[in-house]
Homo-oligomer: A and B are copies of this chain.
Amino acid sequence: MSVLVVGSIAYDGIEAPAGKVDRTLGGSATYISVAAAYFARPVRLVGTVGSDFDKKDLKFLKDHGVDLEGFRTDESGLTFFWKGKYHDDMNSRETLDTQLNVFEHFDPVIPEVYKGSRIVCLGNIDPVLQLKVLDQITQAQLTVCDTMNFWISGAREALEEVISRVDVLIVNDEEARELTGESNLIKAAKIIREKGPKYLIIKKGEHGAFLYSEHSVFSAPAYPLSTIIDPTGAGDTFMGGFAGWLSWSDRISEENLRRAVIYGSVMASYCVEKFGVERLTALNRFEIDRRYDAFRKMSVIPERT
C-alpha cells in the first residue's frame, strides 16, 4: 500500500549531554518518511523547504526511496530551523530557537497521483493544514495523525475536527491528559476514542506504548537502551515505522496493528541511538527484524502452568 506523508522538513540544531550538532536534517515528515521507506513503496512526501536546502539531503531522500513529487522548494526564504537542548535526564527539553521561514506559508497541495494513497500520515503540523490534507485525499484506508501540546492549547477546534476524522491518533501520555483533562490514562483513552479514532496509541517514552482499540488494550514495552544520544524525532520515527510496516503488511488487522506498534518502537529505538536521522540512514531489514524479535522475547509471559 502507498504511504502519503505530510509534515515539516527542517534543519535542527541539537544540544544534548552527549554532544551537539549545529545543523542536521530533521522535521516530522523527514523522520516519518525515512522510517517508513524501510518497509513501504512508494512513500510520498509532501513538504516544503527553502533555498538553503542542501542538495545532498535531497539526494539522500531520493536514494532512500522517498518519492518527491510533492516536495517543494520555495526560493523566497530559508528552510524551517529549530534548535533545542536536552537536559541530563533526556526527558525534558527546551526550545532555544524557532525560525519558521518558508514553513510559515506551507500549504499542503497534494499532487493528483498522491490523492489515492492508502495510508496517510499527518505529521505534527497545524491541524488546519491537517484538515486540508484530509479534504484532498480520496481512497485512504487508514489515516494516522500526530499532534502536540502546542496545538491542543492553541488550535483546539481544528484539532478536535481532525481527531473526529482520523482512524489512528498518536499522542504521548501528557498530551492524552491535556486533551481530556483526565489524569488516568485508561479513562483518557476512552474519552479520546469516543471523539472518533478507531485506534489510539499513547506513547510513554521509556515506558513503551499503549494501543487502544474497541475490544482490547495492547501494552508494548520500550527497548531497554543503555545510551540515548538524541530523542529528536523519535515520535515521528515511531509513526513512520508503524505506518510503513502496516503498508508493507498489506492488511489492517488487530494483529498487524500490534506488530506495527512494535515496528514503530523498533525504529524509534534506533532513532535515538545517534543524532538526527543518522542512525536511520543505514539500517537494514534484517537488523530491524532482529530487534523486533528482541522486543518479543523481552515481553513473553508464559502460559499458566
Contacts and interface: CB of A to CB of B under 8 A. Distances in A.
B299 A301 contact: yes
Given A89-B183, A204-B207, A224-B219, A289 B304 contact: yes
Interface residues of A, number: 45
Contacts of A76: none
Interface string A208-247: 1010000011111110111110000000000000000000
> What number of copies of this chain does the assembly contain?
2
Interface stretch (A29-37, A42-50, A78-86, A255-263): A255-263
Contact of A208 (B219, B295, B305): B219
A228 to B, nearest CB: 8
Contact of A302 (B184, B190, B226, B255): B255
Given A183-B88, A183-B89, A186-B226, A259 B305 contact: yes
A185 interface: yes
B304 A293 contact: yes
A131 to B, nearest CB: 32
A89 to B, nearest CB: 6
A302 B206 CA distance: 21
Contacts of A295: 301
A259 B292 contact: no
Contact of A224 (B217, B228, B258, B297): B217
29 contacts: A89-B183, A184-B225, A184-B226, A184-B227, A185-B224, A186-B224, A186-B226, A187-B226, A207-B208, A208-B221, A210-B224, A216-B298, A217-B298, A218-B298, A218-B300, A219-B298, A219-B299, A220-B301, A255-B302, A256-B305, A258-B301, A258-B302, A259-B301, A259-B305, A262-B301, A292-B304, A295-B301, A296-B301, A299-B301
Given A185-B206, A299-B299, 9 more contacts: A89-B183, A208-B219, A217-B224, A221-B221, A258-B301, A259-B302, A262-B301, A292-B304, A295-B301
